[in-house]
Structure 1
Amino acid sequence: MITSEVIEIGPNAIVENDPLVILFGPEATSNLKDVAVIQKFAKQPLELNLRRGSQIKIRDHTYKVTFCGKLVNANLQGVGHATLCFEPVPDTPLESAIYLSPEKFPGFSVGDKITYIS
Structure 2
Amino acid sequence: MITSEIVAIGKNSIVENDPLVILFGPEATNSLKDVALIQKFDQKAPKFNLKRGARIRIREHEYEITFCGKLVNANLSGVGHATLCFEPVPDTPLQSAIYLSPEKFPGFSVGDKITYIF
**Which of the five TM-score ranges fits, normalised by the shorter chain?**
over 0.9
Scaled by the length of structure 2, what TM-score is found? 0.99
Pairwise mapping of residues 35-114 of structure 1 onto structure 2 (< 5 A)? Answer: 35-114=35-114
Q: Distance in 1 between matches of 2:98 and 2:81?
A: 11
1:13 paired with 2:24, answer: no
Query: Could you report, residue by residue, the CA deviation over 1:29-77 in whole angstroms, capped at 9, with x for unpaired residues?
Result: 0000000000000101212100000000001000000000000000000
Q: Distance in 2 between matches of 1:113 and 1:78?
A: 19
Q: Percent identity?
A: 78
Q: Which residue of 1 aligns with 2:30?
A: 30
What root-mean-square deviation, in Å, do the aligned CA atoms of Structure 1 and Structure 2 show?
0.4
Q: Which runs of 4+ in 1 moved over 2 A?
A: none
Gaps of 5+ in 1: none
Scaled by the length of structure 1, what TM-score is found? 0.99
Gaps of 5+ in 2: none
Q: Distance in 2 between matches of 1:66 and 1:108?
A: 21
